[in-house]
Structure 1
Amino acid sequence: MMTHANNLTIQPINRAALIKRMLIGGGIAFVLIALLVLPIRNPKPEWGELWMIRPFIITPLAGAAGGAFNYLMNNTFALTGWKKVLALVISILGFVIAIWLGIVLGLAGTLWN
């Protein structure tokens, strides 16, 4: 009989590295949303007085989720060669999509209208 070797071995989650990726992702998202929101000097009155709070909460949370996705894609499996490159590309794409969705959700009803 032929046996099939499984090269995908699950690695234990390193909490410190996961938290670091989440903080980096949230920080990147925070800077991006700050660059979009802080230059607004005369917001529309229908946005409300505290309109900036929502984007400054939702977008970094989405960035942190993207950072967690990045960690899980790159560190959960012991990948080598083209599989590691593919995992890196997918994780970066997932991070960008997470930040984009966070910006859309954070700015819905204000700048994203």
Structure 2
Amino acid sequence: MTLDKSLAPRPLVTPALGKRTLTGAIIAFVMISIFVILGGKGDPAWGAYWRIKPLLLTPALGALIGVCYDVTEPLRRLDGWMGKLFVALSLFGYAIGLWMSLILGLAGTMWN
């Protein structure tokens, strides 16, 4: 009887967790910065510091998406078409999560 590696316990904190978390936050920060910089001064009803919320919230959510991407690592390591399917699903999930973090960051200002 052999031990199935896909069912073996995995530590919660992996060496790649910090890298993936930081990568998720940086990608989200770059995306929201593009929106905020191109947004101009904005509506006076938004207040003088309307840029702070999206520039803080969106990278924080991007980091959380990076953590979720790290958690799905065992699924992406599966052999055959299942592993490739989970790679595609993980990237699609990251894109959806990034889109939702942009919406939440811009809610009440540019996203009405």
Same fold (TM over 0.5): yes
Structure 1 vs Structure 2 CA RMSD: 2.3
CA contact (8 A) 1:73 1:91 kept: yes
Could you say if the C-alpha distance between residues 94 and 51 of structure 1 is closer, same or farther in structure 2, counting changes exceeding 3 Å?
Answer: same
- 2:94 is paired with a residue whose SS is helix
After superposition, the C-alpha distances for 1:43-93 in whole angstroms (9 at most, x for unaligned) are 111000110011111111121111111111124675211121122112111
> Where does residue 108 of structure 1 map in the other structure?
107
> Where does residue 20 of structure 1 map in the other structure?
19
- What is the percent sequence identity of the aligned residues? 37
Give the gaps of 5 or more residues in structure 2: none
Q: TM-score normalized by structure 1? A: 0.84
> Where does residue 78 of structure 2 map in the other structure?
79
Total equivalences in the alignment: 110
> Where does residue 8 of structure 1 map in the other structure?
6
Q: TM-score normalized by structure 2? A: 0.85
